[in-house]
A = this chain, B = another copy of it.
Amino acid sequence: MNPQALLPRLALALAFLAALAGAAAADALRSTADLGVVIERASGSVLIVDRTDHAVLQRVEGFGDLSHASVVFSGDGRFAFVFGRDGALTKLDLLTGRIAGRISQAGNSIGGAISDDGRLVAVANYEPGGVRVFSADTLAPVASFDTGAKTIGLVDVPGRRFVFTTWDTGETWIADLSGATPRTEVIGGIGRNPYDALVTGDGRYYIAGLFGEDGLTLLDLWDDHPRPRRILEGYGRGEAALPVYKMPHLEGWALAGDRFVLPAVGHHEVLWLDARSFEELGRTPTHGQPVFAVARPGGRQVWVNFAHPLNDTVQVIDTRSGEIVKTLKPGPAVLHMEFAPRGNEVWISVRDDDRIRIYDTETFEEIAELPARSPSGIFFTSRAHRIGL
């Protein structure tokens, strides 16, 4: 053996292995179950964060228009699927910090969902409308539902199904992708201009908010053929003469004990609803027009943020008394709140202060803060294990 001939080959092997070991060793330190992402809306970038360590691990650029972004996760917590306003769907690998795939699937989209088995990612589109479904693995197209209308309120429900609603035509579609050929059931008469919808945490009740009418429309997805039922007839009625700065999100009603709590439209109030009858039980006056009312996991408290110009504030409501027990001032433009999955802390994005503030939910003390550029949505990988998110 001639050592001089061997040397270059050894050196090459060494360099390769060093690179491999370095990359892999860095990855091996990341567990996926407590990761998360923060949307930086102005710069089209995403932060990968570690929930346990209260740390930013990495900034990843190149997501396009994130002015109205949402995120779902693969079942193993490794991949974030980021839905941009511009119709782009980007698959981010949280272990390597690299973009693992990116497609431009429509002109203007409004959110997405992932099937209960984690195999299918669906996107609802304004332009050209409808819902498109892709392989979570490859982002290859799998199915397309042409609703002939702007489509909103897309959620996953058990049984490899997606549910979504049309703005223009007031239809709710249930798309079942469990078989070889997709099956759809179309339910008309949802109402005039549904603007958003949600499904309850058990995947049973689908509720659409209506822009053009009072009330909300409820479907019981456990029925073989769900029929629309109007609830909360007074909801949305404009008797208060307050301008509606922002329609409240229906992303997830807060189920707190045996009641739902939801933002009133155009009022400085949240509403309490009986979780069985969907009848209103009462209201709690709040600091401003609520945008999100989110239950701390377990339901003991509800945290509320507010529309401009009162959006520097967060209020905490005790579920049982319905009383406000704490008012916090995280700073200018509080956009989103995300709880640790067992609710011991909450992460709050403060857009115009360029930071995330983290509070202990028992003491209300700030326990950490993280720098972020104009942060909006915060999403933890534990969402991968919940229905309808």
In the complex, 23 of the A-B residue pairs with CB atoms within 8 angstroms, ordered by the A residue number, are: A3-B3, A10-B14, A14-B17, A17-B18, A21-B24, A32-B33, A33-B73, A33-B77, A33-B78, A34-B76, A51-B75, A75-B340, A116-B340, A156-B342, A158-B297, A158-B342, A158-B343, A158-B344, A178-B362, A204-B257, A222-B300, A258-B276, A385-B385
Q: Are B76 and A52 in contact (CB under 8 A)?
A: yes
Q: Are B32 and A24 in contact (CB under 8 A)?
A: no
Q: Are A33 and B342 in contact (CB under 8 A)?
A: no
Among A13, A23, A158, A343, which residue has the most Cβ atoms of chain B within 10 A? A158
Which chain B residues border A21 with CB–CB below 8 Å?
Answer: 17, 20-21, 24
Set B7, B320, B382: member contacting A10, Cβ < 8 A: B7
A23 to B20, CA, bound (A): 11
CB distance from A340 to the nearest CB of B (A): 8
A257 to B75, CA, bound (A): 25
This chain: how many copies in the complex? 2
> Which residues on A are within 8 Å of B, measured CB to CB?
3-4, 6-7, 10-11, 13-14, 17-18, 20-21, 23-25, 27-28, 31-34, 51-52, 73, 75-78, 95, 116-118, 156-160, 178, 202-204, 222, 257-258, 275-276, 296-300, 320, 340-345, 362-363, 381-382, 384-387
Which chain B residues border A341 with CB–CB below 8 Å?
Answer: 75, 384-386
A10 to B276, CA, bound (A): 71
Which chain B residues border A77 with CB–CB below 8 Å?
Answer: 31-34, 77
Q: Which residue of B lies closest to A25 (CB)?
A: B24
Which chain B residues border A342 with CB–CB below 8 Å?
Answer: 116-117, 156, 158, 385-387
Set B10, B14, B116, B320: member contacting A222, Cβ < 8 A: B320
Contacts A117-B344, A204-B299; A31 near B78 (Cβ below 8 A): yes
Which chain B residues border A345 with CB–CB below 8 Å?
Answer: 117
Q: Which residue of B lies closest to A297 (CB)?
A: B387
Q: Which residue of B lies closest to A118 (CB)?
A: B52
Which chain B residues border A95 with CB–CB below 8 Å?
Answer: 28, 31
Q: Which residue of B lies closest to A258 (CB)?
A: B276
* Interface of chain A: mostly helix, strand, loop or mixed: loop
Q: Which residue of B lies closest to A296 (CB)?
A: B158
A382 to B17, CA, bound (A): 34
CB distance from A200 to the nearest CB of B (A): 10
A118 to B52, CA, bound (A): 9
Q: Which residue of B lies closest to A15 (CB)?
A: B17
A75 to B158, CA, bound (A): 25
CB distance from A58 to the nearest CB of B (A): 15
Which chain B residues border A76 with CB–CB below 8 Å?
Answer: 31, 33-34, 52
Which chain B residues border A320 with CB–CB below 8 Å?
Answer: 222
Q: Are B362 and A159 in contact (CB under 8 A)?
A: yes
A92 to B203, CA, bound (A): 34
Which chain B residues border A203 with CB–CB below 8 Å?
Answer: 298, 300
CB distance from A31 to the nearest CB of B (A): 4
Set B10, B20, B160, B384: member contacting A25, Cβ < 8 A: B20
Among A75, A178, A382, A385, which residue has the most Cβ atoms of chain B within 10 A? A385
Which chain B residues border A33 with CB–CB below 8 Å?
Answer: 32-33, 73, 75-78, 381-382, 384-385
Known: A28-B28, A157-B298, A158-B342; 9 extra A-B contacts, CB below 8 A, are A27-B27, A33-B78, A33-B382, A51-B75, A75-B341, A116-B343, A116-B344, A160-B362, A382-B385
